[in-house]
């Protein structure tokens, strides 16, 4: 599996994990300029989200932090 395929798989994994806790990041995607560069390490762009989504994400992350 090359870097781009790996990045796409991780993007899908992250999207599914977020969906599992009721969060959708509509702009979740590979960073196209980074993917297009020859020797660049692919990056995942988390994109923008509205305030309600950001608040829910913060709540989920805080809850996960207390279970460690």
pLDDT in tens, the chain (68 residues): 688 889 999 999 999 999 999 999 999 999 877 666 666 788 899 999 999 999 999 999 999 888 76
Give the structural domain span for 44: 3-66
pTM over 0.85: no
4 contacts 24 by C-beta, under 8 angstroms: no
Residue 55: alpha-carbon gap to chain centroid: 16
**How much is the pLDDT for 34?**
62
Question: What is the rounded distance in angstroms from the CA atom of residue 59 to the CA atom of residue 5?
Answer: 31
Question: What is the rounded distance in angstroms from the CA atom of residue 34 to the CA atom of residue 57?
Answer: 26
**How much is the pLDDT for 35?**
61
**How much is the pLDDT for 13?**
98
Into how many domains does the chain fold? Answer: 1
Handedness of CA 14, 15, 18, 23 (dihedral sign): positive
């Amino acid at each position: 599996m090359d870097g781009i395929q790996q990045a796409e798989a991780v993007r899908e994994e992250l999207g599914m994990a977020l969906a599992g806790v009721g969060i959708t990041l509509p702009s979740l995607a590979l960073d196209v300029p980074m993917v297009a560069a020859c020797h660049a390490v692919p990056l995942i762009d988390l994109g923008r989200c509205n305030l309600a989504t950001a608040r829910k994400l913060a709540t989920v992350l805080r809850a996960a932090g207390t279970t460690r």
